[in-house]
């Protein structure tokens, strides 16, 4: 009995010590993460007046009902969905392809790894300004096309092209980050599996399909989920490209940019927070669907 009490008290002291070490992190997360989430959920059901005399008036589900008649929301959702559907698969496949190439014994692969990763460590705003210069009427792209006899084209002013320009920029800037993740995962695959497969007469394609891809399944799940979350949150590139308007003709209007416009331009904070909750639900739903599709995140 004495021994049991001793171990019980020691376990309690260890538990309290653990929580004491965790306390600063718990406080920071509570103040800057949990409380804002709770406050957002509450204000999403209110009409908030932020100028002059600040006021909060409960209006129930009116903010959410209003979304059904808001044409700009459907435009923003369509643009965002198109952006996600194109960027995520391409950047995932490109990242995997680059990782497979750099995992071989090619000459100068260390230099290539650094060169490919440079866009990822460059400021997003700087990259956007560079690509705006490339797409400009007097920019690099039109100058290059003029060498082949093509006339100058306003890439940034065409609603059918503007969003595609942002897609190209983000694929080029984001794929190297996922390439590094894939490369680390590839180097963890036991070489003995490939040797055994070669002895059995497996072709390179069979090795890739039966060994490489199954081992990369957890990493692929992570890459796709992070890609979806990142693309759904597209804001800064769209803001800089369009000057905050989402133009031309709402072609670069994304759901996060629309939330910004309602919150800080139209000062409809309650409605903007309701849109934020909808966006969060969309991202969580897509993530759960991905989890079901991949079934298991790890291999035994």
Q: Which domains does the chain have, with CATH numbers?
A: 13-62 (no CATH), 70-294 (1.10.3720.10)
Nearest CA to 232 out of 71, 79, 32, 72 is that of: 79
Predicted pLDDT at 1? 53
Residue 74 is predicted with a pLDDT of 93
pLDDT score at 300? 44
Q: How far apart are the first and last CA of the chain?
A: 41
CA distances from 78 to 75, 131, 182 (A): 5, 23, 30
Residue at token pair 């004491």: 20
pLDDT value of residue 150: 82
What contacts 167, CB < 8 A, 6 or more positions away?
A: 83, 86, 87
Provide the whole-model pTM. 0.85
List Cα–Cα distances, 227 to 36, 174, 230, in angstroms: 24, 9, 5
Per-residue pLDDT at 299: 44
In whole angstroms, what is the distance from residue 56 CA to residue 59 CA? Answer: 9
Cis bond leading into 248, ω under 30°? yes
Residues 63 and 45 sit within 8 Å (Cβ to Cβ): yes
Q: From CA 88, how far away is CA 175, in angstroms rounded?
A: 9
Q: What's the full length of the chain, in residues? A: 300
- Three-state SS across the chain? CHHHHHHHHHHHHHHHHHHHHHHHHHHHHHHHHHHHHHHHHHHCCEEEECCCCCEEEECCCHHHHHHHHCHHHHHHHHHHHHHHHHHHHHHHHHHHHHHHHHCCCCCCHHHHHHHHHHHHHCCHHHHHHHHHHHHCCCCHHHHHHHCCCCCCCCCCCCCCCHHHHHHHHHHHHHHHHHHHHHHHHHCCCCHHHHHHHHHCCCCHHHHHHHHHHHHCHHHHHHHHHHHHHHHHCCCHHHHHHHCCCCCCCCCCCCHHHHHHHHHHHCCCHHHHHHHHHHHHHHHHHHHHHHHHHHCCCCCC
Which pLDDT score is estimated for 4? 56
Q: Which residues of the chain have pLDDT under 70?
A: 1-9, 52-53, 295-300
Lookup: tokens for 161: 């092209």
Q: Distances from the Cα of 6 to the Cαs of 25, 140, 176, in angstroms?
A: 30, 75, 54
């Amino acid at each position: 009995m004495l021994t049991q009490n001793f171990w019980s008290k020691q376990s309690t002291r260890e538990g309290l010590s653990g929580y004491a070490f965790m306390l600063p992190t718990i406080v920071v997360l509570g103040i800057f993460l949990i409380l804002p989430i709770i406050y957002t959920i509450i204000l999403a059901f209110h009409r908030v007046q932020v100028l002059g005399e600040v006021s909060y008036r409960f209006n129930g589900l009116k903010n959410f009902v209003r979304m059904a008649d808001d044409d700009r929301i459907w435009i923003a959702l369509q643009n965002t969905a198109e952006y996600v559907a194109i960027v995520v698969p391409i950047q995932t496949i490109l990242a995997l392809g680059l990782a497979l190439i750099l995992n071989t014994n090619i000459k100068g692969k260390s230099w290539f790894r650094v060169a490919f990763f440079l866009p990822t460590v460059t400021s997003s705003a700087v990259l956007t300004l560079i690509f705006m210069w490339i797409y400009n009427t007097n920019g690099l792209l039109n100058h290059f096309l003029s060498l082949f006899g093509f006339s100058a084209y306003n890439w940034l002013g065409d609603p059918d092209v503007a969003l595609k320009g942002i897609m190209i920029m983000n694929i080029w800037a984001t794929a190297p980050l996922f390439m590094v993740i894939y490369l680390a995962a590839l180097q963890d695959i036991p070489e003995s599996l490939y040797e055994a497969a070669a002895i059995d007469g497996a072709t390179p394609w069979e090795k890739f399909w039966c060994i490489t891809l199954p081992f990369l399944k957890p990493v692929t799940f992570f890459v796709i989920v992070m890609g979806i979350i990142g693309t759904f949150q597209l804001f800064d590139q769209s803001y800089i490209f369009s000057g905050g308007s989402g133009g031309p003709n709402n072609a670069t209007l994304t759901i996060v940019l629309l939330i910004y416009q309602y919150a800080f331009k139209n000062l409809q904070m309650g409605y903007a927070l309701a849109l934020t909750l909808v966006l969060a639900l969309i991202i969580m739903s897509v993530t759960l669907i991905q989890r079901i599709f991949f079934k298991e995140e790890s291999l035994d």
